[in-house]
């Protein structure tokens, strides 16, 4: 089983619509959770951290469900510029070492 699993997509979203997708993680000792955004042929950049109580940053809302071990990202009022791959990143400890684990990414394509 992969440490962090994501639906690869692509999610084709009309401009102005809402899109949501999840990420599941296997390590119950995971402590920190992030969504990164990666544009084509560019480096990943932090979109937002995910907090236990859920958090919102403009049109983006992230949720954490520790019991079911998943996090989610919802994008409202999608813009063409939201087209990207969204990486789920989890920090947790295994064998006494802490490390970041990455999902393979969910591709979002916003269409006019």
Binding residues (CB under 8 A) for another protein: these are: 2, 4, 8, 31-32, 34, 41-46, 49, 87, 89, 91, 97-105
Nearer to another protein, 1 or 43 (CB): 43
Which residues pair with residue 91 across a beta bridge?
Answer: 32, 100
Which residues pair with residue 85 across a beta bridge?
Answer: 38, 107
CB of 15 to another protein, least distance (A): 26
CB of 84 to another protein, least distance (A): 14
User: Do 100 and 87 form a contact (C-beta atoms < 8 A)?
Assistant: no
* Tally of residues, the chain: 112
CB of 49 to another protein, least distance (A): 7
User: Do 103 and 88 form a contact (C-beta atoms < 8 A)?
Assistant: yes
**Angle at CA 10, nearest 5°, toward 22 and 110?**
100
CB of 95 to another protein, least distance (A): 11
């Amino acid at each position: 089983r992969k440490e962090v699993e994501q639906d690869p997509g692509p999610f084709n979203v009309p401009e102005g619509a809402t899109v949501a997708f999840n990420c599941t993680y296997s390590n119950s000792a995971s402590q920190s959770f992030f969504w990164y955004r990666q544009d084509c042929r560019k480096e990943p950049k932090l979109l937002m951290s995910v907090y236990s109580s859920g958090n919102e940053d403009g049109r983006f809302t992230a949720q954490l469900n520790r019991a079911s071990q998943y996090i989610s990202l919802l994008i409202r009022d999608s813009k063409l510029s939201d087209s990207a791959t969204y990486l789920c990143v989890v920090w947790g400890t295994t064998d006494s070492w802490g490390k970041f684990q990455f999902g393979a990414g969910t591709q979002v394509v916003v269409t006019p």
